[in-house]
Structure 1
Amino acid sequence: MNTRSPRAATREFDSGQFRQALGQFATGVTVITTRLADGSFRGLTASSFNSVSLEPPLVLWSLATGANSLPIFSGNSHYVINVLSAEQGHLAKLFSTRGENPFGVAEFELSRTGQPVLTGCSAWFECHNRSRYPEGDHVIFVGEVEHCEFSPQPPLVFHGGQFRGLR
């Protein structure tokens, strides 16, 4: 089945205007974590998270094609999507800073497959790395959820270029 449509009409806006318009959509904030074959951990902050399907349980997130961590997440069989709580804005910033080792600061436990699960999150989803789709300047990751947990803590959201807690 061909799912591609004919080409879109010519744009009448620039990337700055597009980014500002996107900033008006409040999103949850996640940290995607994984464990490498050598036992070390990697993670990154992402606000591009969404549900796809209840049966089977599928979720998606995306990562820029130029990201240094793209080969890591493309090649690993599992990862965890940690939905940050309102009190975890510091983790969102920590995991988005290049050159830092956030696992030296962040509290976490290991999942049943050995993936790092951040302590104190509103929810987390342990996923099998089911498929990847390159689109534009990003790769869309679809994960099949093997395990998930949640707590009643309010989530952290990103809106208008700022992290905010829902209360």
Structure 2
Amino acid sequence: MKGRSKKAKRRPHTIPLPPAAWSVVQRQLDIETTSPWLFPQIRARRAGEELTHINPSTLTHMLGWLPGVYASPHDVRRAFATHGETTLGLLRTDTAAILDHNPDARDVTGAHYALHNGTHRTWPIMQAWTDAVDAEIAGAMAELESVEALKAAVTAARKLGAGKVLLAAE
């Protein structure tokens, strides 16, 4: 049997999706499309370029265009880490299991020997976060403007450059 080199491609960071997030994926899967991408680009950046998947910075920019939102994606990550540990009683290792971009970086066993994707540990963490967020959704939705008003505000922010445009690294 041929051995794996230390520079072999690392395994994906598998995070289970709670039902609300999975429903978005399922809606995309149900849409008939010829694109091989789950979340395809709407238009290429330059004429003649191939359409691939949506750029992650698109989501970052969209967050910055939402009215009343002053948080970057890293602020959201900080909130999950801080409140997960202080309010939900999660351990730092629980937080790291979800948020670390490269969980195998300092884990020789995880990187080379234990082949399980770790979801037996990460699912309860995601469920705790989901339950905490779900408890706040009804109150937050009651304060939201109509969908039409939100769409108009996002369009205005995009066109006028209003609001903070966030960088992917923020």
Check whether TM > 0.5: no
Q: Which has the higher strand share?
A: 1
TM-score (norm 1): 0.25
Q: Which has the higher helix share?
A: 2
Bigger radius of gyration among the two: 2
TM-score (norm 2): 0.24
